[in-house]
A and B are shown apart, each in its own frame.
Chain A
Amino acid sequence: MDQRIFARYKASELKNDLQGFDVKKSKNSALKRKNALKKIIANLTLGNYNEMVHMFPDIINYWKIEDDMEVREICHEYIRCLGPLKPKSAKEALPLILKDLNSKNEKLQLQALNTLISVPTSEFYNEVFQFTSDAINRKSQSSNVTKTAIFSLIQLDDIEHNQIFPFLERLLDILDNPNSRPAVQAACLKTLYTIHEKNNDMQFLCLKSNIVFNILSILSKLNEWDTVYALEHLPISAVPQTHSEALKMIEMTLPQLQHVNSSVALNAMKFIAYLLNYVDHINESIVHKCSNSVISLLDKPPELQFLVLRNVILLLLSREDSLLHIDVAYFFIDYHDPIYIKDTKLECLYLLANKDNLPIILNELSQYATDIDTQMSRKTIRAIGNLAVKLGDDSVDDSVDILLNLLEFGVDYVVEEIISVFRNILRKYPERFTDVIPNLIHYSNSVQEAESKNAMIWIITRYYNLLPNYLDNFSVFSSKIKDESLDVQFSILNSSVKFFVRSPSKETEKICIGILTICTEEINNADLRSRAFMYWRLLSMVQNDNSVSNETVKEIVDGELPLIELDTKLDSQILEELELDIGSISSIYLKPVSQIFRLNKSKYLPKSPALNASRRQLEVIEDSSSTYNHERFTPNRSFSDINRDSSSSPVRQSSVQNYNSPAETVNHLRGKMKLSSRSPSKLSRNPSKLIRRLSVRTGLGKNK
């Protein structure tokens, strides 16, 4: 090799290299020519199209005379690259391509087929159609070529949608015919499914039961990747009509859970989860097998482990623990886990927590809370706090004990996180932890972040009567209002007005007027200013014309807050769609496809007499068939703010924490996923209601 292959060349230079091929057929010149041809391809990858276009005649030349496989491959690659740009010249090569297509060499046939599809002219496409329709039924054709021909229909569908229809019938026939080759059948299934899915004028593919059973019976004869997409496309297209049919399908799928290829196992899981919508009960052994399969998938490389964990979250959200009985210990975090795994395991632990395993989980969490990674530690504290709110009266004491212990740890970010989390706990149990308040206030000076500042201000304001010099505590924040971020400024404004309305005195008045002045005159934010003006006018209405009583203002400014609940669940329809996408990218984000791409059809469970009304009404029967397990899985658990744990940046606001901030309606698909939440509306005050109340009461109280 005298020259580098990957360098830009002029067409004339390469032509030079190719000269003199027909004079002597010595090995040396053959090598040289091949090298020159390689340079052409290299230049194409470098984007040197303008020069390489001129090589067209030479390529055709060599194609005709060279028998070398590598040369042929290069020729095909050349057409694939330049054909789309120069369809007219590509036509010259058509006979050559067809010759390769009809040759007996499988590799050449595949090359030719790929080349034909890549050139966008109808002549080329017609050849593909022609070849495919011949190949489909010809048994002598190698099944690899047949498979590729069938897959090419997916590509052709984008361009010549109308010509596809006659093929669909024939593909269905192949599926129906038990004598067809398994690999070809799998390819048919994938093609049919994909074409049905992507065209909006078509329904989802729906297969007859005998076809489904046929596919299930050939699974063991397929290679691993064929098995993957056979299983992947069975959900939705296989619609069991009776419970027993569905059970039979589950039974036939179960062995695939033991496949060594994780993708097969996970897709088998997906199909089983889908079929569970069509049965009235399942044996415990199925649950056992599914859980075991998941556990062993957790031993795979981290990326797969991550995917599996995300899907465990999904299954836990949609079915609680009815499908998976996995010991919490499997979700314990290992020191060497990558952080994204730690993160996801934490979410699993949070979801799995119930009254029985809480002590174990809290014990684990308290270990993680002092993790070296700051974010991990923050998220753990979040999780502990959320567990306190989620699990109710019995567990809250334990969680709070742990938090208080951690508080003594004294590191800044830990303290900040605990303060933020405590606000939620106090919103849920307003009177239970009053003795802790002074201890919390003690850390006023060490909170730096907006969120924990907000929390601290709220705590001071709410429990002012427990704090002898609450105004001093408050002034830590109010004195620096100009330097604060916007939401902290809002909190300070609200609190200062609250203090004044509660106990109008010289001091509170001074603080309140001071803050109002700063907000209206010095800080340049329209929202803050108008809120400040609103308060100011309200207060002056009381003082000047007495049209509003002090009590009314109090009610407006300082009303009783509702107790918070973590009550948001994922919409059941979304869960349904997500469950049909187990193992896909959307399962990582926990966002159904239709929510992001509105044009896509959203998947749904096809109707059938066997379809269950509710996913949660699945009975798990013990193997001994003594049905004592009548536990219905009532939807009383809630997962509203898991997004807390998952949000990658600590600043991100969530539903419960700040009723002042506008409700978050849009979820971003960025970095990490958030679950859609509906609760904010419940917590944010509805301004229109307040106004109405104001107008009704105006004439009443005439105090002051």
Chain B
Amino acid sequence: MVSSISFCDSKGKQLLSRKYRDDIPLTAIDNFATLLMKLEEESSVVPPCLTHNGIHYLFIQHNDLYIVALTTSLSTNASQVFTFLHKLVEVMSEYLKDVEEESIRDNFVIIYELLDEMMDYGIPQITETKMLKQYITQKSFKLVKAAKKKRNAARPPQALTNSVSWRPEGIKYKKNEAFLDIVESINMLMTQQGQVLRSEIIGEVKVRSRLSGMPDLKLGINDKGIFSKYLESTSSNSNSNDDNSNEVNSSKSSTPQPSTGQDEGSSRKTSNVELEDLKFHQCVRLSKFENEKIITFIPPDGNFELMSYRLTTPIKPLIWCDVNIHVHSKSRVEIHCRAKAQIKKKSIANNVEILIPVPDDADTPSFRYSHGSIKWVPEKNAILWKIRSFAGGKEYSMAAQLGLPSIDDNEKPKLKRPVQIKFQIPYFTTSGIQVRYLKVNEPKLQYKSYPWVRYITQSGDDYTIRLNG
């Protein structure tokens, strides 16, 4: 259980804090700044958990802030604390947009209110922004008014205590739509020679729901585990399902979906992919998924991440760069780079950015290149090659030369930083995941709804090529 939560500036000095329990002195947080400083002097390793005088400081960093949770017990559930702190930042950013020192100072009233509402006696309570927004607004509301209003609208507990804590009742839309975004991020670590050290696909299914009432959604995708079960169940009662199943509409920007009628049969099985490690939003009925492999859920209103998955199958680099860097000590550095889009001819990679590190003290860059644009980014000590659109199978190359100062300390300039690549490939998933259907069923309202789906593959946070320094 957390004893208090504080927001501190970049030096570790307290901006505001909320105390939840009486077991710590008020001054405990004041030590945080000195503790941080001492540790930073002592070594470069500052773990997100410090201990001083029997008080544990668990903290996360966000922009120029430290968000610190204090606790006295060693058996405090640290995973809960860290998760909560991140959630807190997430919620606050919905209220304040940017969570940083200035916005904290400007909005302390609402922050106190949020802190009160999200945690009680050191135990996390509600952390869904949608629910919090119902009764934490900038204005305070009056008791008298509350009594006059419709009974269920004024009282938050209704929604909080029923089993669907993430969706209030009585939502209405004129046009009922659900948007599915399937985003796959590729993380890859490669050596300069082209050996793939690690590769993974991290997929997210994001949903933007604009649906009235309490709809029950059923999502079908071509995962092996999920899909084989689906085949069994539909073969027996496919007819009865038909009436309220909405075939997925392809939005203008997406590839045409194979209609469900056509690929019924053996061809389906072969195109199935096996997703590892699915993670679901709390609205998905996990036990239903575990037993019957069906993804069913009552969605929260608005945007949310329905599920995420991970695949570790070895994949070929989608965008590969053959980089050669020659450092001529005391005179110049030469960089040759050949980029290749190893994707289907039909696909196009957009906004490709290749960030190649150069020595800190390099200057006077000169470039030769055929496509895109190149500029030197001194603050990152790198050159950035941008290619707006990069068609599959194409190969572009560039050469750059930068000067180095003639005076040089003895150390050989090292380039330990990796080459980073960013890209986006629309209408394409690397894993081959496809949405088969999304059924919307609102038992009371029985409206017609329109599901849309879109696919995109992009580089993850970590799509890098290591340089042999």
Q: Which residues of A does B touch, CB under 8 Å? A: 67-70, 72, 105-107, 110, 114, 142-144, 148, 151-152, 154-155, 181-183, 190, 220-221, 223-225, 228-229, 232, 254-256, 258-263, 265-267, 289, 292-293, 295-296, 299, 301-304, 306-307, 327, 329-330, 332, 334-336, 339-340, 343, 367, 370-373, 375-376, 581, 583-589, 591, 593, 596-597, 648-649, 669-672
A336 to B146, CA, bound (A): 51
Please name all residues of chain A whose beta carbon is closer than 8 Å to the beta carbon of B125 when the two chains form the complex.
225
Q: Are B282 and A261 in contact (CB under 8 A)?
A: yes
Q: Does B316 contact A (CB under 8 A)?
A: no
Give 1 or 0 for each of B115-141: 1 = CB within 8 Å of chain A CB: 000001101111100000001000011
Q: Are B276 and A260 in contact (CB under 8 A)?
A: no
**Contact partner, A255, options B124, B143, B287, Cβ 8 Å:** B287
Q: With CB as the reference atom, state the residue of chain A lying closest to B35.
A: A671
Size of chain B's interface in residues, with CB distance under 8 A? 80
Q: Which of B44, B197, B285 has the most CB of A within 10 A?
A: B44
Q: Does B384 contact A (CB under 8 A)?
A: no
Q: Does B45 contact A (CB under 8 A)?
A: yes
A669 to B49, CA, bound (A): 12
Q: Does B277 contact A (CB under 8 A)?
A: yes
Nearest CB in chain B: distance from A63 CB, A: 12
In the complex, which residues 90-137 of chain B have their Cβ closer than 8 Å to any Cβ of chain A?
A: 120-121, 123-127, 135
Q: With CB as the reference atom, state the residue of chain B lying closest to A145.
A: B157
Q: Are A69 and B47 in contact (CB under 8 A)?
A: no
A-B contact pairs, 29 of them (CB 8 A): A67-B142, A67-B143, A107-B135, A143-B161, A155-B121, A181-B161, A225-B84, A225-B123, A254-B290, A259-B279, A259-B282, A260-B281, A263-B80, A263-B83, A296-B310, A303-B82, A307-B79, A307-B82, A332-B189, A334-B462, A335-B464, A343-B45, A367-B466, A584-B77, A585-B78, A588-B47, A649-B42, A669-B51, A671-B42
A306 to B46, CA, bound (A): 11
Nearest CB in chain A: distance from B406 CB, A: 23
Q: Does B163 contact A (CB under 8 A)?
A: yes
Q: Are B46 and A340 in contact (CB under 8 A)?
A: yes
Please name all residues of chain B whose beta carbon is closer than 8 Å to the beta carbon of A232 when the two chains form the complex.
77, 80
Q: Does B407 contact A (CB under 8 A)?
A: no
A375 to B39, CA, bound (A): 14
Q: Does B286 contact A (CB under 8 A)?
A: yes
Q: Which of A302, A306, A375, A671 has the most CB of B within 10 A?
A: A671
Nearest CB in chain A: distance from B224 CB, A: 14
Give 1 or 0 for each of B142-161: 1 = CB within 8 Å of chain A CB: 11101000000001110011
Q: Does B218 contact A (CB under 8 A)?
A: no
Q: Does B305 contact A (CB under 8 A)?
A: yes
Please name all residues of chain B whose beta carbon is closer than 8 Å to the beta carbon of A581 when the two chains form the complex.
75
Nearest CB in chain B: distance from A223 CB, A: 5
Please name all residues of chain B whose beta carbon is closer than 8 Å to the beta carbon of A224 when the two chains form the complex.
127, 282
Q: Are A332 and B78 in contact (CB under 8 A)?
A: no
Whether A144 touches B76, Cβ cut-off 8 Å, given contacts A155-B121, A258-B280, is: no
Q: Does B206 contact A (CB under 8 A)?
A: no
Q: Are A296 and B83 in contact (CB under 8 A)?
A: no
Whether A106 touches B286, Cβ cut-off 8 Å, given contacts A223-B126, A259-B280, A585-B78, is: no
**Contact partner, B75, options A259, A295, A340, A593, Cβ 8 Å:** A593
Nearest CB in chain B: distance from A100 CB, A: 10
Whether A292 touches B276, Cβ cut-off 8 Å, given contacts A68-B142, A332-B189, is: yes
Q: Are B157 and A584 in contact (CB under 8 A)?
A: no
Q: Does B168 contact A (CB under 8 A)?
A: no
Q: Are A591 and B143 in contact (CB under 8 A)?
A: no
Q: Are A258 and B123 in contact (CB under 8 A)?
A: no
Q: With CB as the reference atom, state the residue of chain A lying closest to B291.
A: A255
Please name all residues of chain A whose beta carbon is closer than 8 Å to the beta carbon of B79 when the two chains form the complex.
262-263, 266-267, 304, 307, 583
Binds A, one of B227-235, B413-421, B441-449, B450-458: B413-421
Whether A225 touches B80, Cβ cut-off 8 Å, given contacts A151-B121, A371-B416, is: yes
A142 to B157, CA, bound (A): 7
Please name all residues of chain B whose beta carbon is closer than 8 Å to the beta carbon of A295 when the two chains form the complex.
277, 310, 312
Q: Which of A72, A224, A589 has the most CB of B within 10 A?
A: A224
Whether A258 touches B277, Cβ cut-off 8 Å, given contacts A144-B161, A329-B198, A597-B74, is: yes
Nearest CB in chain B: distance from A319 CB, A: 19
Q: Are B80 and A67 in contact (CB under 8 A)?
A: no
Q: Which of B42, B48, B76, B197 has the most CB of A within 10 A?
A: B48
